[in-house]
Amino acid sequence: MTEPSRNYVNGEWVASETGETAEVTNPANPSEVVATYQHSNENDAAAAVDAAVAAEDEWRNTPGPERGRILREAGTLLAQRKDELTEILIAEEGKARPEAAGEVQRAIDIFHYFSTKAADLGGTKKGASGPNTNLYTRQEPVGVAALITPWNYPIAIPAWKLAPALAAGNTVVLKPASIAPGVVIEIARALDEAGLPDGVLNVVTGPGSSVGSEFIGNEGTDLVSFTGSSQVGEMVYEQATDAGKRVQTELGGKNPTLVADSADPAEAADIVANGGFGTTGQSCTACSRAIVHEDVYDDFVAELVDRAESLDVGPGTDHEMGPQVSESELSSTLEYIDIAEGEGATLVAGGGVPEGEEVETGHFVEPTVFTDVDPDMRIAQEEVFGPVVAVIKVSDFDEGLAVANDVDYGLSASVVTDDHTEANRFVDEAEAGVVKVNDKTTGLELHVPFGGFKRSSSETWREQGDAGLDFYTIEKTVYDNY
Ligand code: NAD
């Protein structure tokens, strides 16, 4: 048994004061303990905030290019360890190897991207009304950022919060999801080796209700960036705003792909299957509703069923679709399958756990398709977070658009059509933070803004790219009369 992994606080690897640890098991083989992490409490979290507060001045006064150099070096170290990180990610979270490797590469790219941004942070020179006046703006760091992240993209999401926070000169306390914290520990290790000063980044593992809540409530933190479920995120938003913090929350989704009558059913099925079954349906942007014109409905369903039934499900190490991350996520998906059947939807593919030696003990579920779904059914309204696609038949484009928008969420939405006017109307009218034409709902490049509408987001600040830096900076206007 390897030593339990430790928290990273003030540049040291430390044990929690609780003396307790928590095991992470392999979702493809739950009897295998992958690693053990600190089960920390409020005091551990408070000590991390103290370290981040103490490091503030040094880091904000470190020149941007030097901050950038450290981020670049950390990215390079992560790149050298890409294979090792991919293995940790597969073993803890379960996703298929190409997905895990792609996610690790994304984190590397994010560190390199924000390393250049650190040097470019500046302000704008303005024209002054009076004589002999320099009038300009500066972008300054906000202070201490509390970052709370989910398990489903355990390295990319922490990276897309952490890199801009550090690039802009903030110090950070970070609580990764307890299910898959290993890759965040590796980010801390890389930054430490790259020369990040003590206290600038502090990582504490443990429950959200104690560690996460202390980060939000502690008067030392100034910013809260949270990604996770809408249920938890809405509580976090309230707690953070009550405490007077700048806050962004990016939350759940119920993402539609609208398939118009001009769509090629096979192409549309590829798009929906990729969006719905990729990452085992455990993406916030996963397609969980296919809203299909009646003229192409039967052909589309046949094609989608074919995609679902031909997917190779098994351990992420060497199969196309990995397991769900945990027993409780699997149970929740199976419960939604029961609910859908109870509500009268027709199960046309999957619906159970697969059979076979390799999938006997893991949290595996079959890619699942329901037809005859009514837009009001729970399967069409609530986030399932598993590889389940609900197919809804509509008789024209306007009805499809109305159904697409008729949910509480608004993260990502796509349309498959050959009609230019329909495509543009969809872009205009879809209530979602990301809208795509002839593309899957999942996937976004690292330099474009990311965030949702409605219950998918606090709608306060976007993440990624230049928009991502805005959250971590505050503008100062300067009059310099000479
Ligand atoms: P979750 O809400 O259960 O947990 C997210 C994080 O919050 C974890 O680190 C958890 O420990 C912490 N937490 C739990 N209770 C807390 C509390 N009271 N105070 C502070 N922190 C607390 O979400 P999850 O199951 O890890 O992730 C899946 C969810 O995340 C899905 O709903 C998915 O759609 C969403 N998600 C959204 C995006 C996006 O960008 N919109 C991206 C990925 C995932």
Tell me the average pLDDT across 240-268.
Answer: 98
Q: Which pLDDT tens digit goes with each residue over 37-50?
A: 999 999 999 999 99
* Predicted pLDDT of residue 41: 98
Q: What is the Cα Rg of the chain in Å?
A: 23
Classify residue 397: in a domain, yes or no. yes
Classify residue 447: in a domain, yes or no. no
Burial (CB count within 10 angstroms: exposed 0-12, middle 13-18, buried 19+), residue 413: buried
The closest-lying atom of ligand 1 relative to the alpha carbon of residue 411 is 41
Query: Quick one: 220 and 293 in the same domain?
Result: no
Classify residue 208: in a domain, yes or no. yes
The closest-lying atom of ligand 1 relative to the alpha carbon of residue 463 is 40
Tell me the average pLDDT across 450-476.
Answer: 97
Query: Quick one: 209 and 305 in the same domain?
Result: no
Query: What does the alpha-carbon distance between residue 196 and residue 199 come to, in Å, rounded to a whole number?
Result: 9
Q: How remote is the CA of residue 140 from the centroid of ligand 1, in Å?
A: 29
Hey, whose CA ends up nearest to atom 16 of ligand 1? Answer: 208
Q: How remote is the CA of residue 251 from the centroid of ligand 1, in Å?
A: 7
Classify residue 446: in a domain, yes or no. no
Query: Quick one: 336 and 234 in the same domain?
Result: no
* Predicted pLDDT of residue 122: 83
Hey, whose CA ends up nearest to atom 18 of ligand 1? Answer: 209
Hey, whose CA ends up nearest to atom 22 of ligand 1? Answer: 208
SS3 of 293-350: EHHHHHHHHHHHHHHHHHCCECCCCCCCECCCCCHHHHHHHHHHHHHHHHHCCEEEEC
Confidence label for 99 from pLDDT (cuts 50, 70 and 90) = very high
* Predicted pLDDT of residue 109: 98
Q: Which domain does 260 fall in, by range?
A: 255-437
Classify residue 130: in a domain, yes or no. yes
**What is the model's pTM?**
0.97
Query: Quick one: 155 and 291 in the same domain?
Result: no
Classify residue 452: in a domain, yes or no. no
Classify residue 285: in a domain, yes or no. yes
Q: How remote is the CA of residue 148 from the centroid of ligand 1, in Å?
A: 8
Query: Quick one: 278 and 216 in the same domain?
Result: no
Domain with residue 300: its CATH number is 3.40.309.10
The closest-lying atom of ligand 1 relative to the alpha carbon of residue 207 is 11
Q: How remote is the CA of residue 181 from the centroid of ligand 1, in Å?
A: 13
Which listed residue (284, 340, 394, 469) is catalytic?
Answer: 284
Q: How many domains does the chain have?
A: 2
> Does the active-site annotation cover 287?
no
Domain with residue 37: its CATH number is 3.40.605.10
Query: Quick one: 244 and 272 in the same domain?
Result: no
Query: What does the alpha-carbon distance between residue 389 and residue 450 come to, in Å, rounded to a whole number?
Result: 23
The secondary structure of residue 457, as a DSSP letter, is B
Query: Quick one: 43 and 189 in the same domain?
Result: yes
Ligand 1 pocket list (CB less than 6 A): 148-153, 157, 175, 177-178, 208-209, 212-213, 227-229, 232, 235-236, 250-253, 284, 383, 385, 411, 452, 456
Q: How remote is the CA of residue 232 from the centroid of ligand 1, in Å?
A: 7
The closest-lying atom of ligand 1 relative to the alpha carbon of residue 232 is 2
Candidates 38, 224, 251, 461: which one to mutate for ligand 1, based on the most atoms within 8 Å of Cβ? 251
* Predicted pLDDT of residue 2: 77
Query: Quick one: 39 and 177 in the same domain?
Result: yes
The closest-lying atom of ligand 1 relative to the alpha carbon of residue 153 is 43
Classify residue 2: in a domain, yes or no. no
Contacts of 314 (CB under 8 A, 6+ apart): 28, 321, 322, 356, 358, 359, 364
Hey, whose CA ends up nearest to atom 11 of ligand 1? Answer: 208
3 state DSSP class of 69: helix
The closest-lying atom of ligand 1 relative to the alpha carbon of residue 233 is 2
Query: Quick one: 470 and 421 in the same domain?
Result: no
Q: Which pLDDT tens digit goes with each residue over 186-233?
A: 999 999 999 999 999 999 999 999 999 999 999 999 999 999 999 999
* Predicted pLDDT of residue 1: 56
Query: What does the alpha-carbon distance between residue 399 and residue 393 come to, in Å, rounded to a whole number?
Result: 10
Hey, whose CA ends up nearest to atom 31 of ligand 1? Answer: 229
Query: Quick one: 234 and 266 in the same domain?
Result: no
Query: Quick one: 421 and 474 in the same domain?
Result: no
Quote the percentage of the chain above a pLDDT of 90: 99
What value does the mean pLDDT of the chain take? 97
Candidates 38, 229, 248: which one to mutate for ligand 1, based on the most atoms within 8 Å of Cβ? 229
Compute CA distances 383 → 286, 380, 408, whole Å.
Answer: 10, 8, 10
Query: Quick one: 225 and 285 in the same domain?
Result: no
Q: Which pLDDT tens digit goes with each residue over 324-377?
A: 999 999 999 999 999 999 999 999 999 999 999 999 999 999 999 999 999 999
Hey, whose CA ends up nearest to atom 9 of ligand 1? Answer: 177
Q: How remote is the CA of residue 150 from the centroid of ligand 1, in Å?
A: 4
